Structure 1
Amino acid sequence: MAEIRIRNTNERIKGEQAVGEFLAQFDVIYEHWDPSKLREGLREKFTLTDEEKQEILDTFDAEIRDLAGRRGYRTWDIITLSEATPNLEELLAKFENVHTHTEDEVRAITAGKGIFIIKGNDEVGYFDVELEAGDVISVPEYTPHFFTLMDNKQIVAVRLFIETEGWIAHPHNDPTFVK
């Protein structure tokens, strides 16, 4: 279940309803899918074949199509990151800069853990949304944010896009952001 840490105060927000309500004030969509639907052999597997990726997409097809229908997403895929990913540190360095997109950035976590760091309003500042299997998040277009992995550096996620070529990051220079 997702958990939020507000960086300015170190306050933590827990529980599906409280997390959802907090994120909704910033137009961030939060949902929870049932990760137990996934075959047990895929629940903690971070190096996947194309067939296994398709199995994950097939398992969550109804949820994906529901979200896509509500938000206008037209394409989706699976991303896997782990110590087995070539050039993982370089890839993470690319992700770990505050940026925006011209469309929502959506992740449905099917295995592992990750963190979205999102800019709230002036009062809240930046906050971390710690995600695990079953958590689904959609960060709205033009919202400053970035995504990174947790200490275990393992994640599998469904990504949904409006643009068929995927999203493009636009750097967001923010002197108020502190890593």
Structure 2
Amino acid sequence: MTLLTIWDETDTTTPTVQTRDTDTIVEALTPLGVRFSRWELKELSANPTQDEVLEAYRTEIDAVNAEHGYTFVDVVFIAPSEDPSYAETAATARQKFLSEHQHDDDEDRFFARGSGVFYLRVAGNVYAVLCEEGDVISVPANTTHWFDMGTRPDYVSVRFFHDDDGWIGNFTGSDIATKFSTYDELAAVTV
């Protein structure tokens, strides 16, 4: 189930809020311009193709595209594997998104399977949203953030873009992402 953790950015050890209540999560994120909702999950194969995921969620995807003007949608599928290259590929992917950055475009994601944490740094606070399967989150353009998929990434995510260039991050150079609880630590929280 989704978890929201909020810290003052100067106190990395004591959250001011930690909740799994959807209404409280929406109430905390809405003033930041963050859209958060849930979609009903659809049945997917064990190793779904991009086309399978896009077709399963065609109605929901078309509605988001129509409402927000997205023109390019893709699917990211990362799953644990015994293949020796998995560990290196996963670590490289994790490091890319783990550094604080922002985008000139909104960052909209739907988790069809698995989970990941979006950390948003806004007005002196850090908001960690542990998104689970079924969650839809939209991080507004120019919001400073980072994403942690954990040490063994396992998720299927639909991404929405306003142009065909896809994901382009403007990195801040800050090391703030190293100071807060990781995906693995937050995934173990029981609230």
Shared fold, TM over 0.5:
yes
- Could you tell me how far apart the structure 1 residues matched to 2:136 and 2:33 are? 14
The correspondence for 1:113, drawn from 105, 115, 120, is 115
Instruction: Please tell me whether the aligned partners of residues 6 and 126 of structure 1 are also in contact (alpha carbons under 8 angstroms).
Output: yes
- Length-normalised TM-score, structure 1: 0.85
- Length-normalised TM-score, structure 2: 0.80
Instruction: Please tell me whether the aligned partners of residues 75 and 164 of structure 1 are also in contact (alpha carbons under 8 angstroms).
Output: yes
1:34-92 CA distances to partner (integer Å, 9 max, x unpaired)? Answer: 01x224xx3xx3x44xxx32121111111111111111111101101233346110111
- Could you tell me how far apart the structure 1 residues matched to 2:150 and 2:39 are? 20
Structure 2 counterparts to residues 128-143 of structure 1, below 5 A: 128-143=128-143
Instruction: Please tell me whether the aligned partners of residues 113 and 154 of structure 1 are also in contact (alpha carbons under 8 angstroms).
Output: yes
1:28 aligns with: 34
2:186 aligns with: none
Instruction: Please tell me whether the aligned partners of residues 119 and 145 of structure 1 are also in contact (alpha carbons under 8 angstroms).
Output: yes
2:164 aligns with: 164
Displacement after TM superposition at 1:174 (Å): 4.1
Equivalent position amino acid for 2:98 in 1? E
Instruction: Please tell me whether the aligned partners of residues 28 and 138 of structure 1 are also in contact (alpha carbons under 8 angstroms).
Output: yes
Displacement after TM superposition at 1:148 (Å): 1.4
Report which stretch shifted further, 137-146 or 6-15: 6-15
- Going from structure 1 to structure 2, the CA distance change for 1:63 and 1:133 (only over 3 Å counts) comes to same
1:141-172 CA distances to partner (integer Å, 9 max, x unpaired)? Answer: 10001111145521110001001111210012
How many aligned residue pairs are there?
168
Instruction: Please tell me whether the aligned partners of residues 106 and 138 of structure 2 are also in contact (alpha carbons under 8 angstroms).
Output: yes
Instruction: Please tell me whether the aligned partners of residues 2 and 129 of structure 1 are also in contact (alpha carbons under 8 angstroms).
Output: yes
Runs of 4+ in 1 over 6 A off after TM superposition: none
Where does the alignment leave 5 or more consecutive residues of structure 1 unmatched? none
1:93 aligns with: 95
Displacement after TM superposition at 1:173 (Å): 3.5
2:185 aligns with: none
1:77-122 CA distances to partner (integer Å, 9 max, x unpaired)? Answer: 1101233346110111111000000001111000011100111222
Instruction: Please tell me whether the aligned partners of residues 99 and 171 of structure 1 are also in contact (alpha carbons under 8 angstroms).
Output: yes
- Going from structure 1 to structure 2, the CA distance change for 1:175 and 1:94 (only over 3 Å counts) comes to closer
